[in-house]
Amino acid sequence: MKPAAFEYVCPDTLEEALSYLDLWGDSAKILAGGQSLVPLLNMRLAQPQYIIDINRLPGLSGITRHPDTRTVEIGALVRHHQLISNPILLAHASLLSEAARYIGHIAIRSRGTIGGSIAHADPSGELPLAVTALRGHLKVRSRHSQRTIPIEDFFGGYYMTALEPNELIYAVEVLESPIRTGCAVKEFQRRHGDFALASAAAAITVDESGAVLQARVAVGGVAPNAVTCSKVEEALCGQTNNNQFSLAAELVAQHIDPPEDIQASADYRRHLAIALAAEAIDSAYERALWAKEEA
Amino acid sequence: MAYIGQRMTRVEDERLVTGQGQYVSDITPSGTLHLAVVRSLHAHARITHLDLSSAQCLDGVIGVYGPDDVLPIMKPFPPGMVDARLQARMPTPLATGRVHYVGEPVAVVVALSRYIAEDAVRLVEVNYEPLPAVTDPVAGEYADPIHDGADSNLAAEIAYRVGAGADALKDADLVVQTSLRLGRVVGHPMEPRGIVAIYDSEQQNLSVYAGTQGVHGFRKSLADMLGLSESRIRVVAPDTGGGFGLKTRIYPEDVLAAYLAMRLNRPVKWQGDRYEEFISTNQERDQWHRAKIGVKRDGRIVAVVDEYYQDQGAYTPSGIIVADTTAVSIMGPYRVPNFEAVGKVVVTNKVPVGPYRGAGRPQGTFVMERLMDHAADALGMDRVQIRRINLLTPDQLPYQNGISSRGALMTLPYGEYQKTMEQVVDAIQYEQYRDTVRCEGDWRLGIGIANYLEMSGGVGFEGAKMRLLSDGRVQIATGASGQGQGHRTAIGQVAADRLGLPFEQIVVVEGDTAAIERGIGTFGSRTMIMAGNATTQAAKGFRQRLLAFAADLFEASPEDLMWQHGTISVSGVPARALSLAQIAEEALTRQQELEYEAYFDASGPAFGMGTHGVEVAVNTKTWEVKIRQYRICHDGGVIVNPLLVEGQTIGGTVQGLGTALFEALIIDPDSGQPQNASFLDYLLPGAGEMPDFMITEVEYPDPTNPEGFKGVAEGGVMPPMAAVCAAIEDALKEWHVRADVLPITPNDIFLQVTRGGAHETRSI
Ligand SMILES: Cc1cc2nc3c(=O)[nH]c(=O)nc-3n(C[C@H](O)[C@H](O)[C@H](O)COP(=O)(O)OP(=O)(O)OC[C@H]3O[C@@H](n4cnc5c(N)ncnc54)[C@H](O)[C@@H]3O)c2cc1C
């Protein structure tokens, strides 16, 4: 459990980090919170020649609201625990706060970063799930260019992403939730702090009468990456009652073909995904109604 | 004074919780070289080629060694426990020609650092010609032998018969049969195995620091393997972070490190890591049972019959102790007039099985308690009621159940088993519960009760050597080295009482062959029985020794002396008195060692009966199982320190709950590859999954030893599996869920509910 030798750099500026990345490409790994990378290094499942520690980079740790574009931008180095209590997120993108609560244990939440979590692309990751549900975007830079990748184009299978070897995520961007929105995440873990066997996220917006105006639903842990469930979302629109919600949640099955492994059978994962989606939808809807009362 | 019975906090703790403990991994003498092991990647294969050259060329590598390079130690380990029923399969320190499990040592690297050693491990080229892996003990019995020269994979067959055995089933009104499985559990002490070996070439002495449960046995095995006299070896067990039986025996890495330290004349250290714990340290449980119980209509047991297989893994490092103890433990605290058990120990291509907390007791208990539940269900009788009917009663005790174990008939001493069980039945409100609502939202509630009979100690001897230190404190050395139990506290309590000294005046040292000549070690819940009674014996002799010495000083006869509060005085002449410190001073000037050594020999095992009761909640959407309440009542014999006893009981229970609900190393049936050899997906229960435990104790002194002590370290781990399974079945009656295969997981429950009936699924 000792990592293979590597060279370690800890640049002070984004430009410097990007030029290292440009130079070393595939043979380098970015180190953010280290909560996924360091175990991989210790087990020698990853053996990069270079480690580029980005923890000192300025400007990657903020959470900002842009009222003009109605977006919220979260710097790649924002730690999981910050997501939980950040007032901007709680007011305008609370799905991220809800999701972050479920990540690992307190030590992991205080180090792990949103950029690292998205780049690592764990099929059960809570932040990939929430950002997927919200149809977020990733702001990515390399030494000479910069682009914005919609999350639905970002993941490419288990632990795979569309990032080029010389690219770095510097921010995650999501649309502000409309008024009268409620958010909820539900998941099933074998033990406290474990990765979820299955998880579901829902953000529900209601109109003034309390009927569903817009729904965002995604499930995690049941496919190589988080899956948006557009059929469920469509079925929810205009609905007001729990029976209809459960029927809508059943449609999750049409979006997934879960894997079978030593943790769970495919049927069980499918069953969980549907049950959790139904719970997340119920709970998000209830919160949307509270938000309506307050509005 | 009576320290015995007090809830004293542990003298060990201040050092340990402030990070001042010294574990093997903290010990790195200057010039230490680090060893890493090249391990088999295959469960079963022939090694066709081994090339060490590229590894040897790496900077910082001192040497790379295959079997041909360490010929003097390439002999099979001495059999752990000799038994006429066993054809032992013992490994050599490195595999020769053939590998038998994923993780078996193939070669070793010694380098300037563990980092470099691990780099070099990856440069060793091993070519394998894979062979079919034997992964199932039932089919494996008749598969091609996995060991060269063996004629089958059956290493031992165990048979017990009491009364008319299986023939008595015909007298039963009802016979219930069930198949039971217990998963392969990895013991996981907090501290992985490790060793530092230091050779003094001038004196030709070898010193070894190893986290072992028995320094003397370790020294003996090391001496045998190295061809060195025991007198040239000193073994020290420094602070040791848990053992649970896994650290009772010597392992290949120990011999390799010691041998190479001598050969290279430099300290050599091997500190195993967590992955190595998963693929090289003995594992346990892993049994398949087909059990039957015959009962009368009124619930009385007519006969219990069990056929079982021990999936032994590749070798028999501790003989058949686990499989044998299983059979011996089945009847438990019940009157079973007819009994038959036939167990087959089959070698397979997996990590070897060796004792892990309980060593067969949990398996035996699981069998019996599951049979009781299924018999009650089939009779339409309450599950507690069938136990009431069959528990041995005070007037039947002491009782010989007809099993002869290690040469003696098992004799269960006096106890009030019903009373113990009823304490738990009442505490968990079993009766009220049965008539009330059993739902809370999506949760179904269920309750389970399981009994057990804890067998402890009973073999060999253990010693205590008392010595007066120059400051007047008394040092007690014992060969029973602990791994976190709190022996220094508990033995100190016994010594303080028996010497009539303040507790603070006692110092206990353990885990050092230089401190006491002979010893066996800490396992099988034996230390308080063995070392505790040896302490009592030694105290007697030690007092006499000191009185005789003082008598000389006072020119009085020993009978005229008084021993009080650490002072010896002449009766009736209080002015003529010497404190132990003064006596120590006198001894120093007269160049006399004031010491006394006593050894206590076991006359047979102690037995204590106990009951666990658990309430679970099962979620009918996710099939998650939560433990809501946990009640324990057990017989601790004469309890030296209730705090330590409760710690042992809770610790064991948590491990039992792990086996029940979470833990199992999943081995791919075709390849023999472990599928979850890391804490990412081998699920140890955490504090968050565990309930608060409510424990009460009863104290029936054990007749096998003067102090009346009983072992208490394995009781906790025996019944949780059966109790939890019973509670789950109770909660999910509506779906007829059957919890006979461990661990029982949400996925398994889901599959039973949706597909109907029990499935032999394996998941974690
Ligand atoms: C015991 C334990 C339990 C956990 N439980 C959970 C859980 O329940 N749910 C969950 O979601 N996660 C869990 N995690 C993982 C945790 O959330 C990680 O923090 C996260 O997945 C990775 O974030 P990090 O900042 O630590 O990234 P690192 O480990 O530093 O990096 C991870 C990967 O992302 C790359 N990377 C990092 N930052 C960037 C960037 N800005 N741009 C491009 N690439 C980048 C790295 O090169 C590396 O490949 C757990 C971890 C542990 C140790």
3 state SS for A94-115: HHHHHHHHCCCCHHHHHHCEHH
Instruction: Based on the fold, state whether residues A195 and A255 are members of the same structural domain.
Output: yes
**A188 contacts on B by Cβ (under 8 Å):** 622, 624, 746
B196-252: per-residue pLDDT in tens? 999 999 999 999 999 999 999 999 999 999 999 999 999 999 999 999 999 999 999
DSSP 8-state assignment for residue B477: E
Smallest Cα distance from B272 to chain A, Å: 9
Closest approach atom of ligand 1 to CA A46: 49
Dmax over Cα atoms in chain B, in whole Å? Answer: 88
User: Is residue A33 one of the residues assigned to a domain?
Assistant: yes
AA identity, residue B511: G
Closest Cα in chain A to B276: A1
**B275 contacts on A by Cβ (under 8 Å):** 1, 43
Supply the residue whose CA is at minimum distance from atom 52 of ligand 1. Answer: A35
AA identity, residue B472: G
Provide the total of helices (H) and of strands (E) in chain B, helices listed first.
Answer: 19, 29
The CATH number of whichever domain residue A16 belongs to comes to 3.30.43.10
Q: What angle do CA B436, B727, B756 make, to 5 degrees?
A: 100
* Run of H or E residues at B646: helix B642-661
Instruction: Based on the fold, state whether residues B407 and B265 are members of the same structural domain.
Output: no
- What spacing in Å lies between the alpha carbon of B633 and ligand 1's midpoint? 45
Instruction: Based on the fold, state whether residues A225 and A263 are members of the same structural domain.
Output: yes
> Strand order of the sheet with strand B567-570?
B561-564, B567-570, B573-579
User: Is any atom of ligand 1 closer than 6 Å to the C-beta of A172?
Assistant: no
Task: Check CB contact of A192 with chain B, cutoff 8 Å.
Answer: yes
**B751 contacts on A by Cβ (under 8 Å):** 265, 267-268
Residue contact B686–A271, C-beta within 8 A: no
In whole angstroms, what is the distance from residue B331 CA to residue B392 CA? Answer: 11
For β-strands B205-210 and B233-236, DSSP reports them as parallel
Closest Cα in chain A to B751: A268
Q: Which residue is listed with tokens 């010193």?
A: B207
**B622 contacts on A by Cβ (under 8 Å):** 188, 272, 275-276
Instruction: Based on the fold, state whether residues B588 and B640 are members of the same structural domain.
Output: no
For β-strands B33-39 and B105-111, DSSP reports them as antiparallel
Instruction: Based on the fold, state whether residues A97 and A170 are members of the same structural domain.
Output: yes
Of B274, B688, B747, the CB nearest to A191: B688
User: Is residue B174 one of the residues assigned to a domain?
Assistant: no
Selected for mutation to probe chain A from B273, B747, B761 (highest A CB count within 10 Å) is B747
In whole angstroms, what is the distance from residue B156 CA to residue B153 CA? Answer: 9
Mean pLDDT is lowest, of A207-221, B410-424, B563-577, B694-708, for B563-577
B112-128: per-residue pLDDT in tens? 999 999 999 999 999 99
pLDDT over 90 percentage in chain B: 93
Distances in Å between the alpha carbon of B568 and those of A146, B1, B553, B685? Answer: 89, 17, 11, 53
- The per-residue pLDDT for B481 is 84
Q: Structurally, how many domains does chain B consist of?
A: 3
B364-394: per-residue pLDDT in tens? 999 999 999 999 999 999 999 999 999 999 9
In whole angstroms, what is the distance from residue B112 CA to residue B58 CA? Answer: 11
Task: Check CB contact of A267 with chain B, cutoff 8 Å.
Answer: yes
Instruction: Based on the fold, state whether residues B715 and B576 are members of the same structural domain.
Output: no
User: Is residue B300 one of the residues assigned to a domain?
Assistant: yes
Residue B440 burial by Cβ neighbours in a 10 Å radius (0-12, 13-18, 19+):
exposed
Provide the total of helices (H) and of strands (E) in chain A, helices listed first.
Answer: 11, 12
Q: Which residues contact B143 (CB under 8 A, 6 or more apart)?
A: B132, B134, B153
Instruction: Based on the fold, state whether residues B255 and B330 are members of the same structural domain.
Output: no
In whole angstroms, what is the distance from residue A257 CA to residue A185 CA? Answer: 21
Instruction: Based on the fold, state whether residues A190 and A290 are members of the same structural domain.
Output: yes
User: Is residue A270 one of the residues assigned to a domain?
Assistant: yes
Instruction: Based on the fold, state whether residues B255 and B402 are members of the same structural domain.
Output: no
Closest approach atom of ligand 1 to CA A36: 29
User: Is residue A152 one of the residues assigned to a domain?
Assistant: yes
The answer to whether B329 touches B403, Cβ cutoff 8 Å, is no
Distances in Å between the alpha carbon of B702 and those of A167, B80, B455, B464, B706? Answer: 72, 29, 11, 20, 8
User: Is residue A58 one of the residues assigned to a domain?
Assistant: no
CB-side neighbour CA atoms (13 Å) of B211: 29
Query: Which of A121, A151, A175 lies at the terminal end of a domain, its last residue?
Result: A175
**DSSP E strand boundaries for B636-727:** 693-698
Alpha helices in chain A (DSSP H): 14-24, 37-42, 80-85, 87-92, 94-101, 106-111, 114-120, 126-133, 230-236, 242-250, 266-294
- The per-residue pLDDT for B759 is 47
User: Is residue B228 one of the residues assigned to a domain?
Assistant: yes
Average pLDDT, chain B: 95
In whole angstroms, what is the distance from residue B168 CA to residue B157 CA? Answer: 22
DSSP class per residue in B191-203: SPPEEEEEEETTT
Residue contact A4–B274, C-beta within 8 A: no
Q: Which residues contact A57 (CB under 8 A, 6 or more apart)?
A: A11, A12, A13, A14, A17, A77
- The per-residue pLDDT for A128 is 98
The CATH number of whichever domain residue A254 belongs to comes to 3.30.390.50
Q: Could you list the residue range(s) of the whole structural domain that residue A25 is in?
A: 7-53
Instruction: Based on the fold, state whether residues B727 and B738 are members of the same structural domain.
Output: yes
Smallest Cα distance from B58 to chain A, Å: 13
Instruction: Based on the fold, state whether residues B314 and B426 are members of the same structural domain.
Output: yes
pLDDT band at residue B467 using 50, 70 and 90 as cut-offs: very high
Instruction: Based on the fold, state whether residues A45 and A69 are members of the same structural domain.
Output: no
Selected for mutation to probe chain A from B37, B621, B676, B682 (highest A CB count within 10 Å) is B621
**A268 contacts on B by Cβ (under 8 Å):** 746-747, 750-751
The answer to whether A279 touches A201, Cβ cutoff 8 Å, is no
pLDDT band at residue B1 using 50, 70 and 90 as cut-offs: low
AA identity, residue A179: I
C-alpha distance across the termini of chain B, in Å:
51
Chain A segment 26-85 residues within 8 A of B by beta carbon are 39, 43-44
pLDDT band at residue B574 using 50, 70 and 90 as cut-offs: confident
In whole angstroms, what is the distance from residue A145 CA to residue A151 CA? Answer: 19
Phi-psi region of B406 (alpha: psi -120 to 50; beta: other; left: phi over 0): left
- The per-residue pLDDT for B762 is 43
AA identity, residue B456: S
User: Is residue A101 one of the residues assigned to a domain?
Assistant: yes
Mean pLDDT of B45-51: 98
Mean pLDDT of B515-540: 94
Closest approach atom of ligand 1 to CA A60: 41
Given a cut of 70, the residues of chain A with pLDDT beneath it are none
Mean pLDDT of B141-148: 97
Smallest Cα distance from B273 to chain A, Å: 6
DSSP 8-state assignment for residue B531: I
Instruction: Based on the fold, state whether residues A229 and A157 are members of the same structural domain.
Output: no
Instruction: Based on the fold, state whether residues A166 and A76 are members of the same structural domain.
Output: yes
Q: Which of B594, B605, B463 is nearest to B536 (CA)?
A: B463
Of A2, A267, A279, the CB nearest to B114: A2
The answer to whether A217 touches A236, Cβ cutoff 8 Å, is yes
Instruction: Based on the fold, state whether residues B290 and B418 are members of the same structural domain.
Output: yes
- The per-residue pLDDT for B81 is 80
User: Is residue B595 one of the residues assigned to a domain?
Assistant: yes
B496-506: per-residue pLDDT in tens? 999 999 999 99
B618-677: per-residue pLDDT in tens? 999 999 999 999 999 999 999 999 999 999 999 999 999 999 999 999 999 999 999 999
Query: Which of B580, B601, B622 lies at the terminal end of a domain, its last residue?
Result: B601
Ligand 1: which of A8, A27, A30 to mutate, most ligand atoms within 8 Å of CB? Answer: A30
Q: How far is CA B588 from the centre of its chain?
A: 42
Q: Could you list the residue range(s) of the whole structural domain that residue B673 is in?
A: 284-458+604-754
Instruction: Based on the fold, state whether residues A221 and A169 are members of the same structural domain.
Output: no
Query: Which of A141, A175, A209 lies at the terminal end of a domain, its last residue?
Result: A175
Q: Which of A63, A29, A32, A60 is nearest to A167 (CA)?
A: A29
The CATH number of whichever domain residue B209 belongs to comes to 3.90.1170.50
Instruction: Based on the fold, state whether residues B294 and B417 are members of the same structural domain.
Output: yes
Instruction: Please determine, for residue B760, whether its predicted confidence score (pLDDT) is greater than 50.
Output: no
Q: If you compute the radius of gyration of chain A from its CA atoms, what whole number of angstroms results?
A: 19
User: Is any atom of ligand 1 closer than 6 Å to the C-beta of A128?
Assistant: no
User: Is residue B145 one of the residues assigned to a domain?
Assistant: no
Task: Give the ipTM.
Answer: 0.95
Closest Cα in chain B to A194: B680
C-alpha distance across the termini of chain A, in Å:
55
Instruction: Please determine, for residue B763, whether its predicted confidence score (pLDDT) is greater than 60.
Output: no
Instruction: Based on the fold, state whether residues B573 and B686 are members of the same structural domain.
Output: no
In whole angstroms, what is the distance from residue B21 CA to residue B372 CA? Answer: 46
- The per-residue pLDDT for B758 is 56
Query: Which of A154, A175, A196 lies at the terminal end of a domain, its last residue?
Result: A175
Of B666, B686, B750, the CB nearest to A271: B750
User: Is residue B186 one of the residues assigned to a domain?
Assistant: no
Q: Which residue is listed with tokens 């500026």?
A: A13
- How many beta-carbon contacts under 8 Å exist across A and B? 69
User: Is residue A142 one of the residues assigned to a domain?
Assistant: yes
pLDDT band at residue B307 using 50, 70 and 90 as cut-offs: very high
Query: Which of B583, B601, B619 lies at the terminal end of a domain, its last residue?
Result: B601
In whole angstroms, what is the distance from residue A199 CA to residue A236 CA? Answer: 19
What's the token pair of residue B713?
């370290």
B532-556: per-residue pLDDT in tens? 999 999 999 999 999 999 999 999 9
User: Is residue A259 one of the residues assigned to a domain?
Assistant: yes
Go through chain B and tell me how many residues it has.
764
B309-326: per-residue pLDDT in tens? 999 999 999 999 999 999
- The per-residue pLDDT for A241 is 86
Instruction: Based on the fold, state whether residues A212 and A244 are members of the same structural domain.
Output: yes
In whole angstroms, what is the distance from residue B412 CA to residue B400 CA? Answer: 6
Instruction: Based on the fold, state whether residues B637 and B657 are members of the same structural domain.
Output: yes
Instruction: Based on the fold, state whether residues B596 and B626 are members of the same structural domain.
Output: no
Instruction: Based on the fold, state whether residues A148 and A242 are members of the same structural domain.
Output: no
Q: Which of A183, A200, A261, A167 is nearest to B763 (CA)?
A: A261
DSSP 8-state assignment for residue B528: I
Q: What angle do CA B518, B523, B528 make, to 5 degrees?
A: 75
User: Is residue B690 one of the residues assigned to a domain?
Assistant: yes
Instruction: Based on the fold, state whether residues A154 and A188 are members of the same structural domain.
Output: no
Instruction: Please determine, for residue B459, whether its predicted confidence score (pLDDT) is greater than 90.
Output: no
Smallest Cα distance from B291 to chain A, Å: 27
Residue contact A267–B662, C-beta within 8 A: no
The answer to whether B647 touches B639, Cβ cutoff 8 Å, is no
Closest Cα in chain A to B114: A2
Q: Structurally, how many domains does chain A consist of?
A: 3
The CATH number of whichever domain residue B451 belongs to comes to 3.30.365.10
In whole angstroms, what is the distance from residue B131 CA to residue B95 CA? Answer: 15
User: Is residue B362 one of the residues assigned to a domain?
Assistant: yes
